[in-house]
Amino acid sequence: MKTTTALLLTVLATPALAEPLELSLDEFKMYRGYQSAMEDPKVQAMKPDARVAAIAKKNFKVSARELEAAIQKGEAAGDIGAKCAALLKAALAGTSVGPSLTKVDVDAKAEHAVAYVAWSNEDTAQLEEEAATVASQAKACPVLSSVQVWATAKGAPSQRVFQGLVSASAAAKVQPDKIKDFADTRYIKLFEKVKNAANGDDLSQPAP
């Protein structure tokens, strides 16, 4: 009985796996680009059966069949932003930053999908390692173009102590097992618009 109870508690404590997102970055960009193009009055003036071919040729330089396949996968994916956020949160849960996460959101309404990740920081000396750790998991969502990160002081959610922006392609260069060695030298250089309280930067604006 004790063994059964322990197993049950283990199952209940294990988080549900995030639903996979069967969509590549190129497919996602074509899907969102198609949706945007369909709002163009010039496209709306075309015959319905000519629109996909015209958008495929002019906007993406691909065949109508390739664009149609991307559209079908995009529509089948459902809420892309929510799925992406769930995948990213699940990936981060297994890292040192996981317990301190305060926000994981993804805006995937346009071709450039952006993740917003925030955490609570206890030691400003660890900020660059924590930022690199977040970046290392961007690959969990295949449609991301960039990740905006920030940290707030523990116990003071309006006091931002770090912020930065990293492209998904740059984030892919971060190797989790190398973070402790290169976070404050090599990996921090992958970020743009960095402000770090540990370096004396002014982060007086409140966290969103």
148-201 confidence digits (pLDDT tens): 999 999 999 889 999 999 999 999 999 999 999 999 999 999 999 999 999 999
**14 token code pair:** 């294990």
In a domain, 147, yes or no: yes
Which residues, in sequence order, are bridge partners of residue 147? 115, 166
Angle subtended at Cα 56 by Cα 50 and Cα 61, rounded to the nearest 5 degrees: 140
User: Does the pTM exceed 0.95?
Assistant: no
In a domain, 163, yes or no: yes
**Cα–Cα distance between 149 and 117 in angstroms, integer?**
5
Domain, as residue range, for 59: 25-77
**Cα–Cα distance between 87 and 28 in angstroms, integer?**
16
Dihedral angle sign, alpha carbons of residues 22, 171, 79, 57: negative
138, 116 contact by CB (below 8 A)? no
Q: Are residues 51 and 95 in the same domain?
A: no
Residues 138-153: tens digit of each pLDDT? 999 999 999 999 999 9
In a domain, 152, yes or no: yes
**74 token code pair:** 């995009």
Of 58, 77, 96, the last residue of a domain is 77
SS3 185: coil
Q: Are residues 166 and 69 in the same domain?
A: no
Instruction: Say how many domains are in the chain.
Output: 2
